[in-house]
Structures are given as C-alpha cells and as structure tokens.
Amino acid sequence: MDSLRNILVIEDSPLVLKILEHLFRHEPNLQPVFCASLGEAQMMLEASAELFFAAIVDLHLPDAPDGESVDLVMRYGLPCIVLSGSYNEKRRDELLLKGVVDYVLKESQHSYEYAFRLLHRLESNSQVKILVAEDSEATRNFIRHVLVPHRYQIIDACDGEQALRILQAQPDIDMLVVDHSMPGISGFELVKLLRQKMKRSDLVILGLSADTKGSLSAMFIKQGADDFLRKPFCPEELTCRVMFTLERRDMLRALKKAAQFDALTGLNNRRAFYEQGIQQFQQAQRSGHNLSVAMLDMDLFKQINDEYGHAAGDAALIGFSRAFRAAFPDALLGRLGGEEFAMVSPQGAEPLSQALNALREQCRQVKYAVGAPPLSFSAGIYHGVPEDLESLLHLADQQLYEAKRGGRGRTFWQ
Ligand SMILES: Nc1nc2c(ncn2[C@@H]2O[C@H](COP(=O)(O)OP(=O)(O)OP(=O)(O)O)[C@@H](O)[C@H]2O)c(=O)[nH]1
C-alpha cells in the first residue's frame, strides 16, 4: 500500500488491542482508529465514514453482544473483517452470507497476521480481474457473492468459448476460475489451450469440479492450472485459495523483477542488459543493420562518496539514471555495476554522441547533496557491424578510456 489508509477497529479487549497496536506499528501505511464500543463507533462513522478504508470488528461488545457492530459497519459499505473469540459454524455462515470479508479467530499471532494480510490484499484486489467460467448460474452467483466483498472485479462466462472470447478482448484479466465440465470446450481443454500462449505470471488458473475422483485435481494441475477446488466448497476455501494463488503470483513477479532490474536505479542489471542486448544484436544481424554501443562512467565518483557520504552517492546514481532513461526512452540501457552504465542503440555514433552531450548538460542540474559539485560522466561509443555484443562493448570501453584520459566530462566515438 502506498497511501495512508484509516482502519476502524471496534474492539474492547485490552489484550487484543495490545496485539493489534503492536501489529499496526509495523504497518506505516495503515492508521488504526480504535473504538471500544458500538456507540463510539456509531459516532465515528456518522461523522466521518468516508475516511475509512476497512474495519476490524469484534463480534461481541458490551453494548453490542450479538454482532450489531458488524451490521453497523456493513451499513456504511465498509469491508469488514470480523474478530471472534470462539468458533461457531452457524454464526460464521451467517456472517459470510452478509458479505463480511472474513471471520478471524482471536487465537494466535498467525490469525491476527492473517487479518493484516487481508487488509493488504483488499487494497490490491480492486485492481484484480477474475473471470469465472462456469455453466451453472447458481455457482457463478455464489462465487461472485463470496469474492465481491474482497473487492475483486468479477467477470462471468457461461462456457469455454465465451471465456476465450473475453480473455482475448481483455488481456489484463489476472485469474481464471474454471469449471471442468462445461458444454463445448471443457475446463481441461480450455486450460490446455490457454497455457500454450499464456504464462502463469500472466494468468493464474484455479480449476473447479464436482467430480469425486481424486485424480482430477492432479490432471487439472498437470494441464497448467495453478490450483484446484472440489465442489461444493465453502466460501473461505475459495477466498483462501484465490488469495494464496495471487500472492504466489505476486511473489513470482517480484522475484523476476529483482532478477532483472538493478535495485538502486531501476535500470536493467548486467545480466538482463546482456540478455536483451544479445537479442538486439541477433535481430540487427538478420536485418543487416549496424548498431551503436555506448559505455558511460561517472566522473570522480569516489570523491562524491568520500566527501558527501554514500547516501549522496546513491542519490547521484538514482538522479543520473532517471535522466539517462528520460533521454533515451527507446534504447536498451543497463547498469553494468558501480558507476558504470551501458546502452545499445540503433542510432549512429554522431547523433548518439550529441544526445549524450545533451544528457551531460542535464546531469549538471541533478540535485543529489547540498553543496555538491555538478554530476558529470565520460562516455565512449562504438558504431559498427553487430558481430557480437561483447566485442563492441570492449571497443566502446576503449573510447571511454580515451575520454577519461582526455580530461573526463566528454564523449569519444568511433
Ligand atoms: N554510493 C555508491 N557508490 C558506489 C556504488 N557502486 C560503486 N560505488 C563507488 O563508486 C566509486 C568508483 O570509484 P572509481 O572507480 O575510483 O572511479 P571514479 O572516482 O569515478 O574516478 P574516474 O572513473 O576515474 O572518474 C567507488 O568509490 C565505489 O565505492 C553504489 O552503488 N553506491
């Protein structure tokens, strides 16, 4: 979560409040507003309901012994996470039917942490599109009823063909919940077709089936589904599976991002730069075009660190990278390491050299520490037949070396 979110907490137990306060301390973007009674919460909501993002609500309060606090929060349309000291199946079903987000038992650290995970997901869920491909209208409605309180955007398809059409028209759909037995294209076939072109990181798939055969779940997963639920399932089973598969996808995306991008500057890291650079070289070889490769190195960077501190050095690298990206939005850029950067571009050496000189002027305006000297860099360019990336980088590096020897703050090219 990036912006600050107010969470209404209606709870009277000092012990639970202590635990929640402790957990909120680790959540810089969640601001709790505590109310110890239904009356207090009522006044708070009357005055400023629109300021709240969600509510965590105790089921039993001295002035609301029978879940009246839940009804209050639901009347204001706030996503409601219920805390309860005891488990009661009938009560749980009633609450989920009312449309609360979830029912969390006050039993362990883990269950409180789960409530916080729910709060985090509520924020991101509003951006998550789920397509439900299921021929039974009752099941589609049930799934919608269970998932909407979690703020997911739900889209319906009543068979495989319609699901395919919707996925084609809306490539930003995040998840497909798909029944196995549908008229026309079955769930299995649909998953098989989709997995030929869509990776797990692009579309998460949750299979459903009423079949009692144990092997079905394995078959669904082998076709490329990420998880499986046997019908009939209870609401929490569905919300937990949906949440876990999305969390897994997000983790995978974060890992991929960390493996590709340099954490400080957000530019491609060395490995990603080489991988993409090699592809560009192969393309240029096939089409018979020359390519330019540039090597850039910040000038006297050690002095910046030594005189203004490492944080100032980091700020300088970030400021430089932003200007670099803005100056060459279409070129392949990378941070090769330390204060060394590289670029692959189809531009000729001379226009590239002029663009780098313009970037050098812009770098003089980058503010990175009070009283620090203007940022400067040296660069070397080599333009030629794309034999291989490594040797062109080496030739560009030789030009960079000459630029440094020539007094820094300049671009040499060949
Ligand atoms: N703050 C910060 N400094 C870094 C980072 N990576 C490398 N450096 C520093 O960059 C400096 C590079 O110094 P040198 O290789 O001596 O080069 P220079 O001072 O720029 O000198 P010339 O290249 O000859 O102009 C070293 O002090 C490194 O510690 C980083 O991520 N953050």
Which residue minimizes the CA distance to atom 16 of ligand 1? Answer: 302
What is the average pLDDT across 170-190?
93
Residue 211 C-beta-side C-alpha neighbours within 13 Å: 17
CA–CA gap between residue 33 and residue 331 (Å, rounded): 49
Predicted confidence at residue 342, as pLDDT, reads 98
- If you measure from the C-alpha of residue 303 to the centroid of ligand 1, how many angstroms do you get, rounded to a whole number? 8
Which residue minimizes the CA distance to atom 14 of ligand 1? Answer: 302
What pLDDT, in 10s, does the model give residues 25-81?
999 999 999 999 999 999 999 999 999 999 999 999 999 999 999 999 999 999 999
What pLDDT, in 10s, does the model give residues 192-206?
999 999 988 899 999
CA–CA gap between residue 301 and residue 311 (Å, rounded): 12
CB neighbourhood size of 305 (10 A): 15
Predicted confidence at residue 2, as pLDDT, reads 62
CA–CA gap between residue 315 and residue 126 (Å, rounded): 34
| Size of the chain in residues | 414
- If you measure from the C-alpha of residue 323 to the centroid of ligand 1, how many angstroms do you get, rounded to a whole number? 19
Which residue minimizes the CA distance to atom 5 of ligand 1? Answer: 338
Predicted confidence at residue 310, as pLDDT, reads 96
- Per-residue HEC secondary structure of 196-238 comes to HHCCCCCCEEEEEECCCCCHHHHHHHHHCCCEEEECCCCHHHH
The pTM score is 0.75
Which class does domain 126-258 fall in?
A: alpha beta
Same fold, 5-122 and 270-413: no
291 falls in which pLDDT band (50, 70, 90)? very high
The dihedrals phi and psi of 79, each to the nearest 5 degrees, come to: -60, 130
Asked if the model's pLDDT at residue 214 lies above 80, the reply is no
128 falls in which pLDDT band (50, 70, 90)? very high
Q: Are 393 and 293 in contact (CB under 8 A)?
A: yes
Which class does domain 5-122 fall in?
A: alpha beta
Hey, where are the domains in the chain? Answer: 5-122, 126-258, 270-413
DSSP classification of residue 233 = -
Which residue in the block uniquely carries the two structure tokens 């703050």? 409
Predicted confidence at residue 1, as pLDDT, reads 52
The answer to which of 122-126, 311-315, 329-333, 386-390 has the lowest mean pLDDT is: 386-390
Q: Are 32 and 24 in contact (CB under 8 A)?
A: yes
- If you measure from the C-alpha of residue 258 to the centroid of ligand 1, how many angstroms do you get, rounded to a whole number? 23
97 falls in which pLDDT band (50, 70, 90)? confident
For 300, the 3-state DSSP assignment is coil
Q: Are 376 and 409 in contact (CB under 8 A)?
A: yes
CB of 317 closer than 6 angstroms to any ligand 1 atom: yes
The dihedrals phi and psi of 229, each to the nearest 5 degrees, come to: -130, 135
- Catalogue the E-assigned strands of 134-234: 153-157, 175-179, 204-209, 227-230
What is the average pLDDT across 212-238?
87
Predicted confidence at residue 56, as pLDDT, reads 97
CB of 65 closer than 6 angstroms to any ligand 1 atom: no
Predicted confidence at residue 210, as pLDDT, reads 87
CB of 311 closer than 6 angstroms to any ligand 1 atom: no
Using alpha carbons, select from 385, 380, 372 the residue that is nearest to residue 408: 380
CA–CA gap between residue 174 and residue 131 (Å, rounded): 8
Which residues, including other chains, have CB under 8 Å from residue 318's CB and lie 6 or more apart? Answer: 264, 265, 368
Q: Are 37 and 106 in contact (CB under 8 A)?
A: no
What pLDDT, in 10s, does the model give residues 137-175?
999 999 999 999 999 999 999 999 999 999 999 999 999
* Fold exhibited by the domain 270-413: Alpha-Beta Plaits (3.30.70)
303 falls in which pLDDT band (50, 70, 90)? very high
Report the run of H or E that residue 271 belongs to, with start and end: helix 270-287
Mutate to test the pocket of ligand 1, among 301, 303, 336, 401 (most ligand atoms within 8 A of CB): 301
Q: Are 276 and 269 in contact (CB under 8 A)?
A: no
Q: Indicate the average pLDDT of the chain.
A: 93
Show the tokens assigned to 231. 């019908």
What is the average pLDDT across 1-18?
90
